[in-house]
Amino acid sequence: MTRLTIEDLLKIKEKHQAEFNLREGGYRAKVTVHMGTCGIAAGARAVMTALMDEISNAGIKDVIVTTSGCAGLCAREPMATVEIINQPPVKYCDLNEEQIKQIFKEHIMAGTPVEKYVLVAGCETTY
């Protein structure tokens, strides 16, 4: 049996803390749009605005949208990370307004990640 490391324990703690935070806030999902200089220059504000419009039009209250700084992959901006309770986080890249609308409908609302836009899934949380 593989021994647990401190890093593994920290990951478990982070995962549970993340889920706890989402439940405590009454939110089912959190979307983080990366809003560093690179993201803003590449169109992150338009992506976030489109997402906020979708949430508004759908009339839902259990999805929270926030921003973070540069994720370190400036060439793949705009990027967004979708975190849904009890599902691994999914980071999307090279986004535009139409793509985030599709992600909203298929992933955030229906629970199925849009694979063709996924950069990475399941390896990190942003909170």
Partner 1 sequence: MEDLSLHILDVIENSINADAAKIRLTITEDTGKNLFSIEITDNGRGMDEEAIKMASDPFFTTKAKRTGLGIPFLADAAREAGGNISIKSGKGQGTTITANFQHDHIDRKPLGDIEKTIAVLIAAGPHIDFIFEFKRNEKNYLIDTAEIKEKLGDVPVNDPEVINFIKDGIRQWLKDTQDMIRYDLNKSRHSGL
Q: Does 109 participate in binding partner 1 (rule CB under 8 A)?
A: no
Give one DSSP letter per residue of 8-48, joined into a string: HHHHHHHHHHHHHHHHHTT-SEEEEEE-SHHHHHHTHHHHH
> Residue 126: is it exposed, middle or buried by C-beta count within 10 angstroms (0-12/13-18/19+)?
middle
- CB 64 → partner 1: shortest distance, Å? 8
According to DSSP, the β-strands at 63-68 and 118-121 are unpaired
CA 22, 24, 28, 30 dihedral sign is negative
What the block records as the tokens of 90 is 């999914």
Q: Does 69 participate in binding partner 1 (rule CB under 8 A)?
A: yes
| Region near partner 1 per CB under 8 A, out of 14-22, 44-52, 94-102, 111-119 | 44-52
- The residue within the footprint of partner 1, chosen from 4, 17, 41, 94 (CB under 8 A), is 41
| Region near partner 1 per CB under 8 A, out of 30-38, 83-91, 109-117, 119-127 | 30-38
Q: Does 35 participate in binding partner 1 (rule CB under 8 A)?
A: yes
Cβ atoms < 10 Å from Cβ of 115: 10
**Between 19 and 97, whose beta carbon lies closer to partner 1?**
97
| Contact positions vs partner 1 (CB under 8 A) | 33, 35-38, 40-41, 45-46, 48-49, 52, 55-56, 61, 64-67, 69-70, 72
